Amino acid sequence: MDKPCILIIDDDPGLRKTLTDILTFKGYATLTAKDGAEGLSLLHKNVVDLALIDLGLPDMPGLEVLDTIKTRHSFIESIILTGKATLDSAIEATNRGAFSYLVKPYEIDRLLLQIKRAIEKQQAQEKITRNSIELQKMNTELKALYGVSQAISKTMDLEELLSEVLKVLAETEIFNFEIKGAIFLAEGQEMRLASFISLSETELEPCNEIQAGECLCGQALQTKEIIIARNCSENSRHLLCNPAVHPHGHIIVPLKVAGVVVGLLNLYIQPETEVNDEMVRLLSTVASQMGIAINNARLFEETKRSSLHDALTGLANRRFMEIEFAKRLETAKRYREALSIIMLDIDHFKNYNDTHGHQAGDGLLVKLADILLRQVRKTDYVFRYGGDEFIIILPKMGLDMAHETAERLRRAVEAEGGGLTISLGVVSLNESLQEKDTLIDAADKALYRAKANGRNRVAVGDVSR
């Protein structure tokens, strides 16, 4: 621990030397000044714990020096020394913040006792201040971590989760720079840009997909270690950032679960920004929370997908169809939009299964699902309804176009299916078909007519307006 430093401000050179010798012997460091101006200059340039101030200095009153010290250096204690003591001056000195007031000539032991107590007070106050700063810092960190935790707990949707975390980080007071950055998700040995804040898509275009080991982000994926680059223009590993991005540095933090990198938090910082250990520690804690959240969100998505999708064909299943059909039907009725559905199945599928076996039949279903997905619009929905039955929802499509779509599907299956054909029933939302169940029932009846009339054809359901 450094020795406490005492500044002696007195115009008597003999007294300054005597006090210096005594205080040095007692284990204190000392500085001396012959007047107020020199004393204040030394205070500005040195760390001082206590000032001994003569009341009658040649250039300014000792109380004026005391006032300046208390204004500029409130943590420094002061003891007033004078040969011309009055009760008023003693009261005035203590009122202005002096620790104590001694009259010359004073007993050295008494002075040493006052110095000891003043230093103890100064050190105690300094400790309190340090603890207060630490508590404030801890409170800010906890607030940031709590904010991240709250953002994570709001949703299991991965995209929304990542966006919320970036917003929380941008609002926290823990970082001494504006939060500007992106989150990437790991997909094997590649990183995919998933969310970003305070950056444009143009700036991040080269970073859409990054391979392991490529640029700084790819190296963080590869090494699983935090990478800090204080000035990327001088870093030979930094290769991909768009030249339009202003000079910057990076803090790149791997988001890990059980030692596996599931993503990266990439923060852009001003060149030469000081990144201290506390900042790195906080980011590591945030990264642990995010890694777990990303993993949980992915598990949730997989569970949700498996519960709403057919395991064999990968198409959305009947349960998902019930949910999505209700949404599309409500939208169509609210905005008076067209809506059509196609119900189809494979011709003679039971005979095919009996002849070739169920495994071959499963292959047929997978092939049909692939053809259907390639033939419909991106805005259409293909569902496996059950067995060899499929339903296709066609938002904003009237009956005529739906009929054309069904014919196109039939021809595509006939051309690509290797002997496979399908029959289809088509219906559209109209005055007599307003509910989900009645629409499906009408499509089913139309499908039945198509099969009854020779199969490998399209039939249209109720066309009343």
pLDDT at 140 over 90: no
For 112, the enclosing helix (H) or strand (E) is helix 108-154
CB atoms within 10 A of CB 380: 18
d(CA 242, CA 245) in angstroms, rounded, equals: 6
- Output the pLDDT for position 135: 72
Terminal Cα distance for the chain, rounded = 93
pLDDT at 291 over 90: no
Most confident of the following: 52-56, 139-143, 280-284, 446-450 = 446-450
- Output the pLDDT for position 239: 67
- State the pLDDT confidence band at 465, using cuts at 50, 70 and 90: very low
What SS3 class is residue 292? helix
Contact 252, 217 (CB under 8 A): yes
pLDDT at 176 over 70: no
Q: Dihedral, CA atoms, 239, 243, 244, 248, nearest 10 degrees?
A: 60
User: How confident is the model over 313-326, as a mean pLDDT?
Assistant: 90
Pairing of strands 190-197, 249-257: unpaired
d(CA 453, CA 450) in angstroms, rounded, equals: 5
d(CA 382, CA 442) in angstroms, rounded, equals: 18
- Output the pLDDT for position 364: 92
- State the pLDDT confidence band at 174, using cuts at 50, 70 and 90: low
Mean pLDDT of the chain: 86
User: How confident is the model over 18-40, as a mean pLDDT?
Assistant: 94
d(CA 342, CA 428) in angstroms, rounded, equals: 9
What SS3 class is residue 399? helix
- State the pLDDT confidence band at 449, using cuts at 50, 70 and 90: very high
Pairing of strands 5-9, 50-54: parallel
- Output the pLDDT for position 28: 93
pLDDT digits (tens, 9 = 90+) for 57-116: 999 998 999 999 998 988 899 998 887 766 677 788 888 889 988 888 888 999 999 999
User: How confident is the model over 454-463, as a mean pLDDT?
Assistant: 89
For 78, the enclosing helix (H) or strand (E) is strand 77-82
Residues of the chain with pLDDT > 70, as a percent, come to 94
3-state SS string over 252-277?
A: EEEEEECCEEEEEEEEEECCCCCCCH
- Output the pLDDT for position 152: 77
User: How confident is the model over 340-344, as a mean pLDDT?
Assistant: 97
- Output the pLDDT for position 450: 96
* Burial classification of residue 437, based on how many CB atoms lie within 10 Å of its CB (0-12 exposed, 13-18 middle, 19 or more buried): exposed
pLDDT at 462 over 80: no
User: How confident is the model over 312-327, as a mean pLDDT?
Assistant: 90
Q: Where are the alpha helices (DSSP H) in 207-348?
A: 215-223, 277-308, 318-334
pLDDT digits (tens, 9 = 90+) for 360-408: 999 999 999 999 999 999 889 999 998 999 999 999 999 999 999 999 9
pLDDT at 247 over 50: yes
Between 1 and 412, where is the model more confident?
412
pLDDT at 153 over 80: no
Residue from 14, 3, 69, 13 nearest 36 by CA: 69
- Output the pLDDT for position 292: 87
- DSSP at 396: T
pLDDT at 236 over 80: no
Most confident of the following: 163-167, 179-183, 359-363 = 359-363
- Output the pLDDT for position 67: 92
Q: Catalogue all structural domains in the chain, each as residue range(s) with its CATH number.
A: 5-126 (3.40.50.2300), 155-294 (3.30.450.40), 318-460 (3.30.70.270)
Partnered with residue 6 across adjacent β-strands are: 30, 50
Q: Where are the alpha helices (DSSP H) in 309-422?
A: 318-334, 349-356, 358-375, 399-416
- Output the pLDDT for position 270: 82
- Output the pLDDT for position 187: 85
Between 125 and 36, where is the model more confident?
36
Contact 317, 309 (CB under 8 A): yes
